[in-house]
Amino acid sequence: MTRPPTMEDVARAAGVSRSTVSRVFQNAGERVSADALIKVHEAAKRLGYVHNLVASGLAMRHGRQLGLLIRDATNPAYGHLHSEMNRAVEATGRTLISVTAFRHDYGTAEVQGLNRLMGQRVAGLFVGTGVTSAEDLLETVTSTPMLIVGRPNDHPQIESVSYDERAHGRMVAEEVAAKGHRRIAILVAPLLYSRVFDLRMRSLIEHCRELGVETVPIDLLPVEQGVVRALDAARAEGLSCIVCPVDYVALELLRATRARDMRVPEDVSTVGFDGLADGLDLIGLATVQLPVAAVARTAVARMEELLVRAQESPEGPPGTETAGAEHALSAGRFQPGRTLGPVSEHLRA
* Domain boundary assignment for the chain: 7-163+293-330, 165-290+333-348
Least confident of 229-233, 291-295, 313-317: 313-317
Angular region, 105: left φ>0, alpha ψ -120 to 50, beta rest: beta
Each residue of 262-278: pLDDT tens digit? 999 999 999 999 999 88
Please check whether residue 213 is in contact with residue 177, taking contact to mean a CB–CB distance below 8 angstroms: yes
Architecture of domain 7-163+293-330: 3-Layer(aba) Sandwich (3.40)
The closest alpha carbon to 63, from 325, 311, 295, 294, belongs to: 311
The one-letter amino acid code at 95 reads T
Indicate the pLDDT class of residue 61, thresholds 50, 70 and 90.
very low
pTM above 0.75, yes or no: yes
Each residue of 195-243: pLDDT tens digit? 889 999 999 999 999 999 999 999 999 999 999 999 999 999 999 999 9
CA distance 219 to 132: 21
* β-strand partners of 126: 68, 147
CATH of 165-290+333-348, one of 3.40.50.720, 3.40.50.2300, 3.10.105.10, 3.40.1390.30: 3.40.50.2300
Each residue of 317-335: pLDDT tens digit? 444 444 578 999 999 999 9
Please give the helix or strand (H or E) that residue 128 lies within, else none.
strand 124-128
Average pLDDT over residues 127-142: 79
Statement: residue 53 has pLDDT above 50: no
The closest alpha carbon to 85, from 127, 130, 135, 28, belongs to: 127
Average pLDDT over all residues of the chain: 86
Domains 7-163+293-330 and 165-290+333-348 share a fold: yes
3-state secondary structure of 327: strand
Please give the pLDDT value at position 2: 63
**Is the CA virtual torsion 134, 137, 141, 145 positive or negative?**
negative
Please check whether residue 57 is in contact with residue 63, taking contact to mean a CB–CB distance below 8 angstroms: no
